[in-house]
Each structure stands twice: as C-alpha cells, then as structure tokens.
Amino acid sequence: MKSKEIIKHVLLVEDNLLNQKFAMAVLKLKGYTADLAENGKIGVDLYTSNEYDAILMDIQMPVLNGIEATKQIRAMEQKNHWPRVKIIAVTAYAMPGDEERFKQAGIDLYIAKPYKGDDLIAFIQQ
C-alpha cells in the first residue's frame, strides 16, 4: 500500500462545466493530476480502474448522484479490502442535517460552493 501523506492524483466528479474548469485549473496550478467524471456512474467506473488519493464529489448530478456514488465506492473498498480513499463532497446544497447524511454515506468532508481555490486545496490536504 502506498503512502497517503502527499495527495497528488485526484478524481473530480462534477457535471457543471464551469465548476469542472475551475476545479481542474486549481488542481493543475497546485501541481495535482486529476481525472474528470461528468456524473457519479462515470466516477465509480474511473475509481475501479485507477488509484486516487482523493475524490471531489459533487452531490447533485444526473445518472448517479454523489451520495449513491460514494456508497458504491465504500462498498467496493470493503469488499475488495482496498484502502479508504478520502471523499470530499463539493456541494451548493449544504443545509442543516446534510453533514450527518454525508457522513452516513461515507463522505469524509464537505465544502460548500462557491469556494476559493485555496480552500479546496486545504480540504484535500486536511
């Protein structure tokens, strides 16, 4: 198992083009490599065939939302005895009670949209 001390390869699961461009630019600027999934199903598929240090998971997406995608990833980790990847919810819908719902799904942290690039990096490194 590789060291998780320095996060360098990130999966961005986001359906909004503007949010995709912003997050990918921030990640690249800070020296990260990143793959992009336009919905939760693609994100789960990419997760099964690649190794990521962190996943930035939008919550509201078509095909498969971030909560269900996270549940599928956590189930695969358990079934296959894979190390737990850090999953950070990136959402515009941070309402009272959401943090508990996110934790129950297996999400480690969440950041509300809109966010600053430095805040996103701080969450990844946290």
What is the reported pLDDT for 14?
96
Backbone angles phi, psi at 83, to 5 degrees: -65, 150
Instruction: Domains for the chain: give ranges and CATH numbers.
Output: 9-125 (3.40.50.2300)
- The least confident of 39-48, 66-75, 92-101 is 92-101
Contacts of 125 (CB under 8 A, 6+ apart): 7
Distance from C-alpha of 49 to C-alpha of 47, rounded to nearest angstrom = 6
pTM over 0.95: no
8-25 residue pLDDT tens: 899 999 999 999 999 999
CB of 9 closer than 8 Å to CB of 33: yes
